[in-house]
Structures are given as C-alpha cells and as structure tokens.
Chain A
C-alpha cells in the first residue's frame, strides 16, 4: 500500500482542494486525447478512446467552506478528481463508466427538494439550501470500495446523516431508512440500457444510518457534487460496497421493515441488503479479497481489501452476533 505520512496531507486545516492545483487534477490525460483521436482505426478500441479522453466536466462554481473532521481517513493517497468524476456507476446516465461523466451534467440540481416521510413525527420537504446550512460542512476523506472490485480514496464534503435524522424526528417504530434517487426518464434517457426497475432505491438499518461515519454528502474536493457523483445530495456509507451509497436523493423514508433495494431485487445472491465490505465473502463471480485502486499504474493497482473497508473499529459492533457470511 502507498502510505503517505498523514501530516504531509492533513497537517493543517487547509482543505486538500487547495493543496493540489485544480489544473493538475483535470489535465493529467489531456495529452493523450490527440493521440487517441488520431488513431481512428479503432477495432474494439472504440471504448478505449473514450476512457483516454473523458469529457472534462465543469464543476458547478460552488466552493464550499469546510472544517476538518476527526472521522477523516488518513494515510491514503487521494484519487485524482479527474478519475473520481470520469469513472462512475450511475446507470440512469448510461452503463459505461465514462457515460455519467458525459451525460449527468443535465441533472437539474436546483431547485431540489428531499421529501422526508414515513414513520416521523412530522413529514416535511427540505430544499437543498436548507440541507447545506443545517450543519457545518466537514471534509471527510473515505476509502470507497465498489462491489465490482475497484476502489478510490475521496475527500467528500458533508456531515453525519444522523444530524439530519435528528431533525426528522423519527418515531421509535422506525427501524430502517429508505433512500430514493431522482428519476425522470425525460432527463435520464439512458435508463433502458439496463433492466432495472427505477427509481433506484437503497436502505440502511436505523443504527447504520445513525452511525457517525454515514455521511450526508453534498460535495467532494471542496466543491458541490458533480452530477455523475450524485448531485446535489447523496449518502456515503464507507464500510459498505458503493452501491449502498444512494445518489441524487429525493426521498428519505423511515419504515419499520427492511425496504426493497435495487440491486438486491435484481440479484439477491450477489448483492445482499447489508453488503458490508468483506474480503472473506466472495462475490459469486469474483473474489473480494483484493481491489484495484483507481488511478494507479496497472502493475501497482492491486491492494488487499480490508474488513469493513478498514472502518471495523467504528462499525463492527453493529453486527455483533450476526453471521456475516449469511447476512452478506
């Protein structure tokens, strides 16, 4: 593993967005764009050209003021912004990793409201500005591990979801939280590329949602979220596989039974409701023992996968007495 001295990156209160010049995150691969375009004789390499020259997605000009967080992961090299924004799973905007970066810019992120419903004292609708102002925004660096076997290290911006849940005032009967993602076939014209029953739905057990690590996420790299990363508001559950971290949330519902979730509905044997990162439980089609770190050279990409993605100290107790091979 590439261990960098934590102090070198996080020694002061400077957000990392100010350490690496923005040009650098954005321009790394621009040189090759010309070369890739020159060889138009693509034979099965049509996608390659796409990967090599991803459209630069302009970030909305919305610098966010953040404070440092004790819950931030240290000692990891950050994945470059260009990779974080050009390698995404967001099937509403296409199934290829580069598609969301090209297509998700049309997400109408303002005005945006999130409907709080279900087992709460008073259902309500919160707009994005009130979410941005609800609590001081923190920068939280987390490892992000996709069920497909790749990973990133991303400086997210947000605050613990528990802060919002407290404001929502759920009833004692609320045992689970269900997140619903934005869905509009007129905007998301790519939904027919996959056989998924939209809108995307995800869920957490109440204690998982209340864990301080679970982040209500409003930005990354010091800016508001780009469309492809789930603008304008999503959750990040760093000890679970990435698909648990629902994007572009329009609904948060408190329920008493385990809610239906998109990937679990599609293939329950591959994607469990819990889906905690676990190197000891293989995906039926591939091993989860190791992962490919995005943005590193091919010969150095493979890293061992950590139990609970390395967040066991904070979350292992949530699953005391549970057989994690059964409840994968």
Chain B
C-alpha cells in the first residue's frame, strides 16, 4: 500500500473515531443532546466503546481470510485505545450523572446491581490492555506474554455485551445484532485456523 493511501485512511479512521465524541461535545455546548441528554451521553459512549471493540476484534479474522488485508493490523491499537477512551467517558458519565459523585451510591450500585458490576469489571479489564499498548511495553513484555495478556479483551467485550443485555428491559432485543456479530467473530478464529492448517497440510502433501 502506498504511504499516502495509508495516511489518508488513518486520517479517516481518526475522524470516524472522534465523530461521536465531537457530536456529544457540540450537543452539550448547544444544549442539543436530545430529550434525555444523560441517556444520549451514556448510550453513545457505551455503544461506541462496544462497537470499536468488536471492530478491533474483527481485524485478525479478516487478515486471516484475505492476506491482502494484512495492513489492517496498523489500526488495531488505535481502535482499541479509542474503545478504552469511550468506555472511560461512559464510566465518568455514570459517576457524574447517575451517582452524582457520591461514593456511597457507587459502592451500593456496584455491589447490588449486577449490570453495573459487570460493566465496571469490563472497564477494569481494559486498563492493563491500554497501559501495555505502547511499542515499548510490547517489547518489555515480549510478544508471547503480551498476546496472552491481551486475550483479556475477549472477556472484557463479552462482559460489555452482558452489561448491555442486563441494562435493557426484559424482552428488548436491541443488543442482539452486536451479540451475533461477536459470536461470529469468536467462532471465526478457530474456524479460520483450522481452514488454514488444512490448506497448509494439503500444500505440503502436494509437494511431497
């Protein structure tokens, strides 16, 4: 890929990632966040965090499927960090707009309300991943350890989806599409590995 193309895509990805936050900030400044601004803020940040995590998890299967797309890896860290950013704003929105910065309310909520418990847990799991996202940290940990650590993202995103399901009213199926996509991505990895292994085995058999 040409360097200029890559730069162009990078700029577009940055704009796309910043867009939800920019809309929220513009809306907040102009008092234009819809009928329920608090909910607009929490829903937008929460769903953007989940969307970005799911997209970042799609990169490896896509690369395995089409080797032409291997350049996508250059965007995984960016997407992951933006997901962490939105998850953090989401958490701050809860702290400020739902618990009104009251530590007692927060503790009660985390202990008593399981959708909040898993939500906080999902965010906590993202912290070590964000901290170890720098090139220096990857080197210091070593690729193998780093990979092992970053498997936590599967747990985190799963908890995020559970958090979504437990938050909506019983009978509401809004989290379903995202759940199906994530399930497909979970299944895609071993399936693609198996398919690749078979292909290599066949090639080797043909050679011999």
Contact = CB atoms under 8 A, between A and B. Distances in A.
Given A194-B172, A302-B100, A294 B35 contact: yes
B109 interface: yes
Interface of B: 12, 15-17, 19-20, 22-24, 26-28, 30-41, 43-44, 47-48, 50-52, 97, 100, 105, 108-109, 112-115, 166-167, 169-174
Interface string A48-84: 1001101000000000000000000000000000110
A266 B38 CA distance: 27
A95 B43 CA distance: 14
B105 A47 contact: no
A91 B22 CA distance: 31
Interface in A73-110: 82-83, 86-87, 91, 95-97
A47 B44 contact: yes
A4 interface: no
A271 to B, nearest CB: 9
B48 A44 contact: yes
Contact of B38 (A87, A282, A292): A292
Given A97-B36, A286-B113, A267 B170 contact: yes
A29 interface: yes
Contact of B23 (A48, A282, A296): A48
A51 B36 CA distance: 9
Contacts of B170: 195, 266-267, 270
Interface residues of A, number: 48
Interface in A287-319: 287, 290, 292, 294-299, 301-302
A14 interface: no
Contacts of B12: 41
A104 B34 CA distance: 19
The 10 A-B residue pairs with the shortest CB-CB distance, nearest first, are A51-B34, A44-B48, A298-B37, A87-B35, A195-B171, A44-B51, A83-B35, A45-B20, A267-B170, A194-B171
A297 B37 contact: yes
B35 A51 contact: yes
A31 to B, nearest CB: 8
A43 B48 contact: yes
Nearest to A267: B170
A39 B23 contact: yes
Contacts of B27: 32, 52
Interface of A: 29, 31-32, 35-36, 39, 41-45, 47-48, 51-52, 54, 82-83, 86-87, 91, 95-97, 148, 150, 193-196, 266-267, 270, 282, 284-287, 290, 292, 294-299, 301-302
B32 A45 contact: no
Helix, strand, loop or mixed for chain B's interface? helix
A243 B166 CA distance: 19
A294 B167 CA distance: 20
Contact of B36 (A47, A195, A290, A292): A292
B23 A36 contact: yes
B39 A150 contact: yes
B35 A295 contact: yes
A48 B39 contact: no
6 contacts: A39-B23, A43-B51, A44-B47, A47-B43, A51-B35, A301-B38
Given A196-B171, A287-B105, 18 more contacts: A36-B23, A39-B19, A39-B23, A43-B48, A44-B50, A45-B23, A47-B43, A52-B33, A87-B36, A95-B174, A97-B36, A193-B172, A194-B171, A195-B171, A296-B37, A297-B31, A298-B33, A301-B36
A226 B114 CA distance: 37
Nearest to B112: A282
B38 A298 contact: yes
Interface centre among B24, B50, B169, by most chain A C-beta atoms within 10 angstroms, is B169
Contact of A301 (B20, B37, B113, B115): B37
Contacts of A32: 27, 30, 32
